[in-house]
Amino acid sequence: GSGGGGAGNNGAEAERAYYRMMKCVTNLVDDEAQRVEEVRDLFTAACDRGLVSANVLRAFREGVPEEVFTKTVGSGRLADKWIENVKSIKALYTDGSMGGAGKHARRKGKSTSDWAKKQRRKEQRRVGMKRAKEERKQQRKSQRVAKAKRREALA
């Protein structure tokens, strides 16, 4: 961080540490059950210390399956206790945004049902893309393993 008092900086440092640890676990732990458990444990610790920044929330979303994310954080506003010590970018809502005036206000004169459908479709597409990406990643990994085994057999 830059300047400022010690206590404030420690909050920002701890917050960044949670974010980085979650990213490391997400990127380095291959076993899904273990990865989800470790990322969830880190997120819970960040919640307990009031250090759920926008980055920590995003790292949690990227590190666990969608249903685990939704079951853990719900939807709408984040608990005040989770964000009370955040020094960097605050996320007030589970979508990582600050919200602001009229975040959930009904628009006058327009039906929002179509909006909800579009959001659902967008979300399903995003989840589908994520799943496809994971499958491609697994395929590449198994191809690398197979290639290594063939090389070993020839050696």
Residue 13: domain span:
1-98
pLDDT of residue 90: 76
Q: Are residues 92 and 123 in the same domain?
A: no
Q: Are residues 62 and 19 in the same domain?
A: yes
93: phi then psi, degrees, rounded to nearest 5: -120, 160
pLDDT of residue 17: 95
pLDDT of residue 103: 52
In the block, residue with structure tokens 């799943």: 131
pLDDT of residue 25: 97
Task: Name the domain boundary from 69, 98, 127.
Answer: 98
How many of the other CB atoms lie within 10 Å of CB of 45? 13
| Average pLDDT for runs of 10 along the chain of length 155 | 46 90 96 96 95 93 93 85 85 71 50 71 91 95 94 88
Q: Are residues 115 and 74 in the same domain?
A: no
Q: Which two tokens stand for residue 113?
A: 């049902």
Cβ-based neighbours of 60, under 8 Å, separated by 6 or more: 22, 39, 40, 43, 69, 72, 73
CA distances from 37 to 8, 11, 28, 58 (A): 29, 24, 14, 16
Residue 1 lies in a domain: yes
Residue 104 lies in a domain: no
pLDDT of residue 74: 84
